[in-house]
Chain A
């Protein structure tokens, strides 16, 4: 069998980016949460907020470290496996990714150190400022990534000079209509991911009857934040769908598993798409709803995949299912947070064990939602790496052979499995241990996030081993 370097490189990129995105998605929200809770502590002076802060700070430090380690790998993926993409789109993607790297670098180099180690060495207002700056930094970081990816989805603000892609209008590249919708969509997704994790952690400790005071703070704040954010996220989700319909109609048709152009179009709620026969098996459809979903009009004509040449059609199965799973996760978040608000309202939150179990089990909803959203966006963009400019199969490193690509893919899987099993075990232990009784100095070491995180738990080390 011939090993295909394009397929193997795509698998490798999907693997390393999937394992990477989990951590930034979590830390963007955590940084904002930590800044919020530190601000509340500063305003109210209640020690409970300090305990909650210190607990999440350790989780943050570990997650941040995992994000940095897997992020360094990402910085080299474009060059090693997609060198034609790097060369052709480098004048635009290079500066955007460069700024992302510099932003993350600055963040780690300056305020992150203060946040982790400087509690006793700087005035409280400056410590709070550092928390805010770290949060701002993570958001900036995601901004550059979204600029870059949005440009690959819908290229804007570039020109061709002698066949080379050159930037023409940085303003359009960084603040175009696509970025304006997708960046908030990603930010809110990150907030929701963290919010659901906080709710689940609070519910877990509540169920175990431990750290009740802290668990209450986590539950109340988490439920409140998610309940407010989820409707806003749904609006931005809708706006994202609008841009896909307008700029990437093939992707829209793939998400909807719409093989034929229809007027009025029906909405496929569930089906098993069969790409070889270009039809849906076991389809559950609602007539006319498809037109309404796409255009807000019950009779509009909606384009199907048949309108495009076969070589330009995106895959259907992954975007179709990934999109539906993402929406499902959003609905679970909506249900958990709004039911939670109702229970808080009636003062029955802590006795409703069925709810606490549901909240605990919905821990992964944010992570699954983020991953599925990205799968929808990225697989739906195929067969293009830069939409309608460069095909994925043409972007591959010409010198890369299938054997070498297979070797690196296996190596990444093995190394990540080792590192992740340890890293996740440590995060799990920190979550399980719960907040410490008294605030403590986290560590004396700058630039050592993992050690700082582990050190926070040192008093319990003996009992574990």
Chain B
């Protein structure tokens, strides 16, 4: 291991970690609704599902741009290894997000089946490749001379496939929790019924992934072995899942979503313990990947001090404006404009 990361590098690690958590939770629930959209045939329910995410999904996705831009700016070496290692997954994810984004808008303009299929498949593919990327990172990414040194399909091993499937179910769980929280009537009941099944599916797939990881027997778990206190995070994750069950049983609308978010936090922290101090496990450390201090400083005073807080505040305002149950949805199909005609300033 070479050197400790500078304070600026740590700031940007924290900023990117924050952006990743924000992205996974925010885009996670709307991708999850897209996944659930595919298993619901009922058109009225489909409209209600879209209405529950329509004010949010676009802003949620821009966190992905934030992650990509910050990674390139602050850790160019990690960016240069990560994207070639995931050449095909990144391609699939971009196409998934494109089809999902336009499918959302074009489905009322003819070829409805095509665009709705695109919305479901795009959401599922984006979720799957994001999960697969996590699995591939757990396995470790081969690097030689500061560049990715593996094949185009190295990510397509049993463990990444399992984590990919796991994230599809995980996002679906987030989406179902969101629908329970933001809707009522038939849709809320429909979503609530699916939550226990999704919890079971997530846990089963994670157990299988754990078995696959044991079989891999590489450096996996070295981080946890050094930091046994890190085991508290998977334990908290299991507790959160129990909380989801309780929330469903007690019919408390906000609890399943909140507990799923807690579960995702626990999973993220587990991965952080597993990976630290590596940016690209288990080859490139945070300190090695960081751009020179002159680059980080230049970035810090504009983007770190100014842009990041503005984006956080704006995101909070949008969620505040569209708080509560979205009864008839907002927009094309809805006439209920309740509460949102308030002056913005």
Contact = CB atoms under 8 A, between A and B. Distances in A.
A and B held together in a complex: yes
Interface of A: 69, 72-73, 75-76, 78-80, 83-84, 86-87, 89-95, 97-102, 104-106, 108-110, 114, 118, 120-123, 126, 161, 164, 166-168, 170, 397-401, 404, 407-408, 411, 415, 419, 422-423, 426, 443-451, 454-455, 458, 465
B190 interface: no
B3 interface: no
Contact of A105 (B102, B291, B307): B307
Given A90-B76, A92-B295, A94-B73, A76 B83 contact: yes
A123 B345 CA distance: 8
Contacts of A91: 76, 291-292, 294-295
B343 interface: yes
B332 to A, nearest CB: 6
Given A72-B94, A105-B307, A121 B342 contact: yes
A447 B146 contact: no
A94 B295 contact: yes
Given A122-B343, A399-B148, A454-B105, A447 B58 contact: yes
A426 B65 CA distance: 26
Contact of B73 (A83, A95, A447, A451): A95
Interface string B42-78: 0000000000001111110010111011101110110
Contacts of B137: none
Interface string B277-292: 0000000000000011
A399 B151 contact: yes
Contacts of A455: 331-332
Given A94-B73, A98-B299, A408 B91 contact: yes
Given A101-B68, A118-B344, A444-B337, A166 B295 contact: yes
B234 to A, nearest CB: 31
Given A78-B72, A444-B331, A83 B84 contact: yes
Residue from the set B68, B72, B106, B147 with the largest chain A CB neighbour count within 10 Å = B72
B148 A398 contact: yes
B13 interface: no
A448 B58 contact: yes
A80 B343 contact: no
Interface string B126-160: 00000000000000000000111111100000000
Interface stretch (B21-29, B266-274, B310-318): B310-318
A447 B298 CA distance: 30
A451 B108 CA distance: 10
A186 to B, nearest CB: 21
B265 interface: no
A170 B298 contact: yes
Nearest to B91: A408
B240 interface: no
B8 to A, nearest CB: 12
Nearest to A414: B95
Is chain A's binding surface mostly helix, strand, loop or mixed?
helix
A455 B331 CA distance: 9
Contacts of A73: 94, 98
A397 to B, nearest CB: 4
A445 B303 contact: no
B264 interface: no
A447 B82 contact: no
Contacts of A443: 331
17 contacts: A72-B97, A84-B80, A87-B76, A89-B76, A90-B291, A91-B294, A92-B295, A106-B311, A122-B343, A126-B345, A161-B292, A168-B294, A399-B147, A400-B84, A401-B152, A444-B337, A454-B109
B250 interface: no
Contacts of B69: 75, 97-98, 100-102, 105
Contacts of B70: 98
Given A72-B64, A422-B106, A451-B332, A94 B291 contact: yes
Contacts of A120: 341
A249 B87 CA distance: 37
Contacts of B79: 78-79, 86-87, 90, 94
Contact of B147 (A98, A398, A458): A398
B199 to A, nearest CB: 30
Contact of A121 (B110, B314, B343): B343
Given A69-B102, A166-B294, A419-B98, A404 B152 contact: yes
Contacts of B82: 79
Residue from the set B77, B83, B85, B88 with the largest chain A CB neighbour count within 10 Å = B83
Nearest to B321: A446
B185 interface: no
Contact of A94 (B64, B72, B85, B94): B72
